[in-house]
Chains A and B, each alone.
Chain A
Amino acid sequence: MIFWIVGFWFVLAEGVLIYSIVRYRKGSTGAGTRAMFLRGDTPRQLAWIFIPVAIILFLDLAIDRAGASAWERIKGEIPPSDVTIKVTAKQFNWNFTYPGPDGKFGTADDITAENDLHVPAGKVVKFELQSEDVIHSFFVPELRLKQDVVPGRKISGWFQSDIPGTYEIACSELCGFGHYSMHGTVIVQNAKDYSAWLHDTWPTKFAANSASVKAN
């Protein structure tokens, strides 16, 4: 939507400008024609610039209103989540800590993996970001997800990806000489593949706790 609004005004402004330059070249309307003496000091003349600006202001505020509700949904309240993962950024790696089948952090079945983030498709995933050193930024372009990771703070967010696939993670805040190589992957899996991954990662737990697997 922004694109069309912006595009319209861009074309209009450049168009008038180019037209003026071409049309009002000296001598183009006959030798000796003077420029118009327009000072823009009367309301009628000023209306030519104030009215377009007022329209632009109105449209921009409309953009903001539309954006505000989306912003609230993305960055405001985190909806009830099915899966929570701790994301730790450090020079120059993404580490993902899974709570494991018991669903709690800080217990024996937690696993920390480097660079690969497995999540189920179609479910709300909550992430908690921490940094071990400098500011990084958790950016998954294909999911339109971005949140800076600041040392000394725990920052939470969420996402839900309905389409299975592998999506690249990039760091989008300069974090040192390895910033360019700080990659990761979000692996969004359908129910079957995700379940298989859970089994592979926690083989003993899953064999013993088949009840909790069904609950998940």
Chain B
Amino acid sequence: METAAEQHHEAPAGFVRRYIFSTDHKVIAKQYMILSLTMALIGGFTAYLIRWQLAWPETDIPGWGPIGPDNYNAIITMHGTVMVFFVAMPFLLGAFGNYLIPLMIGARDMAFPRLNMMSFWTVFTASVVLTISMFVPGGPAAAGWTGYAPLSDNPIYTGVTWGQNLWILALALEFGSFLMGGINFLTTALNMRAPGMTLWRLPLVVWMELTAAVVFLLSVGPLIAGALMLLADRTLGTGFFRPDRGGDPLLWEHLFWFFGHPEVYVVALPGFGIMLEVMPVFARKPIFGYRTMVWSTIAAGLLSFIVWAHHMFVSGMDPRLATPFSVTTILISVPFALLVFSMIATVWGGSITLTTPMLFALGGLATFIIGGVTGIFLGSATTDIFLHGTYFVVAHFHYTLFPVTFFGGFAGLYYWYPKMFGRMMNETLGKIHFWFTFVFFNAIFIPLFAVGTHGSPRRIYELSSYTYLQPFQYLHVIATYATIGLFIGQLPFIVNFIGSMVRGKRAADNPWDANTLEWATTSPPPHENFEHIPVVYRDPYEYSVPGENEDWIPQTRPEPQIVYAAAD
């Protein structure tokens, strides 16, 4: 395999080589971004269908028509699958990981540029397969994004034939794509760092992307095994998960969640990383406790492998497993609490400018705190008896995933847009986008916590037959109105994203006065990123160093590190 180290060539010519089959990590990152934003439209549309159906079950949904109960199950399955695997992963890892890692470590590209290109086209193919699965006879997969067997295993239980098989195939391709990407990230970050870029000088977002890559690499294997088993059950007559053939449905649950839990941290950590890049810049303050954050990240990654059965407390697994998994779940809240407190401490005492990226980063932090504390209720096996499988869980995971993916992701998008596209985005539209998103997101999911606490099960097509839930139907109506508000709030962003590309003010190399290496080159960077590979002399968060004229010092400034009187 030729590596980037050997390729000092001209930028490719021709539209196809430059923009479609490109090996330039910056182009690939933008391809991932466009893919994930497009899939987000599909994921968002399914959310709209779900919420309308829940609020007004007897009506037809405008722009769609009526939904039957089998359609509903397919829609919720697509919503989860698309959002986790085809929005969150490509956006946070594919787009930001690819764009930032080479630039932030001072490299010209990824270690394996052609593998990188293949990884994008693989996830693109996976998206196409999943989209096709929505139109095949029998409809798309309808067993939930968690695909529990035997519901997912035996076509007679859902009436879905091709759709579920294509779902498995799409996921397999997606896993393959991110395995390729993960190998690239890790090899690049280990071997292609510029002189002076020690591991302890890596920006936190790079640490987060790397930890996510390792966690993904090591956790996806058992689910690949499980997916093969599920496909074999469906096509070869095996019975891994079918009791009528000697199998066990709980095996699927274990294999799924062994991956599924680390997967949510694979998504969460890069989102946090982005917030942790944005906050020091707009508070003009170093990250509080950089090394602690690195160790917390690694600890979170490690612990993520031993908590999975907290998704299975009432599953019928041996009840004696509940207490150990409750304890490990408690332990994993420690690194995340450290991360959250460190973010707060980073902001405290700063000189804060509330730009759009900063608003999104802070909003993500504020909403994630809610997600985190509600996890305590679920992590304790006893309270989970009541809350498992209810809307409380739905609200909890939206309050963790949405902050990191959406708020974190958009913080990154607004922050790095000038670097990526060479133009500034419009601040006013950005702020409108933020406030609509923040207000309406909370307005959707707080009511759902309430609904869940009253015992409403999830994945229910129609709640009107549950007499004990009727007094709370108004909460669903509120949530649906808020959903519409949330969607309207995305319009300023779409206008801003596209409009700024043609009409935005041209961006300087370093419009935010930030320290990390990507700001030491032009906006956008040339094909090979840097005219000369930078030399790194200091860590990334030297903001407001006492005794300096400027309140920022780029990593490339060659003076020795200043000794400051630690006056605390």
Which A positions have Cβ atoms within 8 angstroms of B?
Answer: 2, 5-6, 9-10, 13-14, 16-21, 24-27, 33-42, 44-46, 48-50, 52-53, 56-57, 60-61, 63-64, 67-68, 70-71, 74-76, 91, 133-135, 137, 139, 141-142, 144-153, 155, 168, 170-181, 183
With a cutoff of 8 Å between Cβ atoms, the chain B residues found around residue A24 in the complex are: 283, 347-352
Q: Decide yes or no whether B559 CB sits under 8 A from chain A.
A: no
Q: CB < 8 Å: which of B151, B342, B362 contacts A134?
A: B151
A50 to B296, CA, bound (A): 12
17 contacts between A and B (CB under 8 A): A2-B380, A9-B373, A20-B348, A20-B352, A24-B283, A25-B353, A35-B349, A48-B341, A50-B338, A67-B326, A67-B383, A75-B319, A133-B150, A141-B454, A141-B468, A152-B248, A181-B462
Give A167 Cβ to nearest chain B Cβ, in Å: 8
B349 to A, closest residue via Cβ: A36
Question: Does the CB pair B389–A53 fall under 8 Å?
Answer: no
> Which among B455, B457, B566 has the greatest number of chain A C-beta atoms within 10 A?
B457
With a cutoff of 8 Å between Cβ atoms, the chain A residues found around residue B276 in the complex are: none
Q: CB < 8 Å: which of A9, A168, A179 contacts B459?
A: A179
Question: Does the CB pair B290–A176 fall under 8 Å?
Answer: no
Question: Does the CB pair B386–A46 fall under 8 Å?
Answer: no
With a cutoff of 8 Å between Cβ atoms, the chain A residues found around residue B315 in the complex are: 148, 150
Residue interface bits B542-566, CB-to-A below 8 A is 1, else 0? 0111100001000000000000101
Question: Does the CB pair B157–A34 fall under 8 Å?
Answer: no
Question: Does the CB pair A17–B150 fall under 8 Å?
Answer: no
Using known A-B contacts A24-B347, A37-B286, determine if residue A179 contacts B73 with beta carbons closer than 8 Å: yes
Question: Does the CB pair A16–B348 fall under 8 Å?
Answer: yes
With a cutoff of 8 Å between Cβ atoms, the chain A residues found around residue B319 in the complex are: 71, 75-76
B69 to A, closest residue via Cβ: A177
Q: Decide yes or no whether B115 CB sits under 8 A from chain A.
A: no
A145 to B159, CA, bound (A): 31
With a cutoff of 8 Å between Cβ atoms, the chain A residues found around residue B369 in the complex are: 10, 13-14, 17
Q: CB < 8 Å: which of A40, A64, A173, A176 contacts B323?
A: A64
With a cutoff of 8 Å between Cβ atoms, the chain A residues found around residue B68 in the complex are: 177
Of the 9-residue stretches B31-39, B121-129, B329-337, B434-442, which lies at the interface with chain A? Answer: B329-337
With a cutoff of 8 Å between Cβ atoms, the chain A residues found around residue B316 in the complex are: 147-150, 153, 155
Question: Does the CB pair A180–B468 fall under 8 Å?
Answer: no
Q: CB < 8 Å: which of A16, A36, A40 contacts B544?
A: A36
A49 to B289, CA, bound (A): 9
Question: Does the CB pair A10–B370 fall under 8 Å?
Answer: yes
Question: Does the CB pair A34–B544 fall under 8 Å?
Answer: yes
Give A52 Cβ to nearest chain B Cβ, in Å: 6
Residue interface bits B103-135, CB-to-A below 8 A is 1, else 0? 000000000000000000000000000000000
A68 to B386, CA, bound (A): 15
Q: Decide yes or no whether B405 CB sits under 8 A from chain A.
A: no
Using known A-B contacts A17-B366, A35-B284, determine if residue A174 contacts B144 with beta carbons closer than 8 Å: yes
A171 to B157, CA, bound (A): 16
Question: Does the CB pair B286–A39 fall under 8 Å?
Answer: yes
Which B positions have Cβ atoms within 8 angstroms of A?
Answer: 68-70, 72-73, 142-144, 148-151, 157-159, 243-244, 247-250, 283-292, 314-316, 319-320, 322-323, 326-327, 330-331, 333-334, 337-338, 340-342, 344-345, 347-354, 362, 365-366, 369-370, 373-374, 376-377, 380-383, 385-386, 388-390, 454-455, 457-463, 465-468, 541, 543-546, 551, 564, 566, 568
Question: Does the CB pair B286–A38 fall under 8 Å?
Answer: yes
A67 to B73, CA, bound (A): 34
Q: CB < 8 Å: which of A19, A35, A52, A172 contacts B543?
A: A35
Q: CB < 8 Å: which of B354, B462, B568 contacts A25?
A: B354
With a cutoff of 8 Å between Cβ atoms, the chain A residues found around residue B249 in the complex are: 134-135, 150-152
Question: Does the CB pair A26–B353 fall under 8 Å?
Answer: yes
Question: Does the CB pair B73–A2 fall under 8 Å?
Answer: no
Q: CB < 8 Å: which of A6, A49, A76, A148 contacts B376?
A: A6
Q: CB < 8 Å: which of B150, B333, B347 contacts A21?
A: B347
Give B454 Cβ to nearest chain A Cβ, in Å: 7
A169 to B376, CA, bound (A): 26
Give B276 Cβ to nearest chain A Cβ, in Å: 12
Give A4 Cβ to nearest chain B Cβ, in Å: 12
With a cutoff of 8 Å between Cβ atoms, the chain A residues found around residue B244 in the complex are: 151-152
With a cutoff of 8 Å between Cβ atoms, the chain B residues found around residue A46 in the complex are: 289, 292
Question: Does the CB pair B144–A37 fall under 8 Å?
Answer: no
Question: Does the CB pair A148–B348 fall under 8 Å?
Answer: no
Question: Does the CB pair A137–B314 fall under 8 Å?
Answer: yes
Give B546 Cβ to nearest chain A Cβ, in Å: 6
A70 to B95, CA, bound (A): 46
Question: Does the CB pair A176–B386 fall under 8 Å?
Answer: no
A19 to B351, CA, bound (A): 13
With a cutoff of 8 Å between Cβ atoms, the chain A residues found around residue B283 in the complex are: 24, 35
Question: Does the CB pair A180–B462 fall under 8 Å?
Answer: yes
A185 to B, closest residue via Cβ: B467
With a cutoff of 8 Å between Cβ atoms, the chain A residues found around residue B351 in the complex are: 24, 26-27, 33-35
With a cutoff of 8 Å between Cβ atoms, the chain B residues found around residue A144 in the complex are: 385-386
A70 to B, closest residue via Cβ: B382
Question: Does the CB pair B457–A170 fall under 8 Å?
Answer: yes
Using known A-B contacts A64-B380, A174-B151, determine if residue A49 contacts B338 with beta carbons closer than 8 Å: yes
Using known A-B contacts A38-B349, A142-B468, determine if residue A13 contacts B344 with beta carbons closer than 8 Å: yes
Using known A-B contacts A24-B350, A141-B468, A150-B250, determine if residue A37 contacts B564 with beta carbons closer than 8 Å: yes
Q: CB < 8 Å: which of B285, B292, B327, B467 contacts A168?
A: B467
With a cutoff of 8 Å between Cβ atoms, the chain B residues found around residue A172 in the complex are: 388-390, 457-458
Using known A-B contacts A20-B348, A20-B349, A180-B69, determine if residue A146 contacts B288 with beta carbons closer than 8 Å: no
A178 to B, closest residue via Cβ: B69
B382 to A, closest residue via Cβ: A67
Give A137 Cβ to nearest chain B Cβ, in Å: 6
A142 to B284, CA, bound (A): 52
Give B434 Cβ to nearest chain A Cβ, in Å: 13
With a cutoff of 8 Å between Cβ atoms, the chain A residues found around residue B337 in the complex are: 52-53, 56
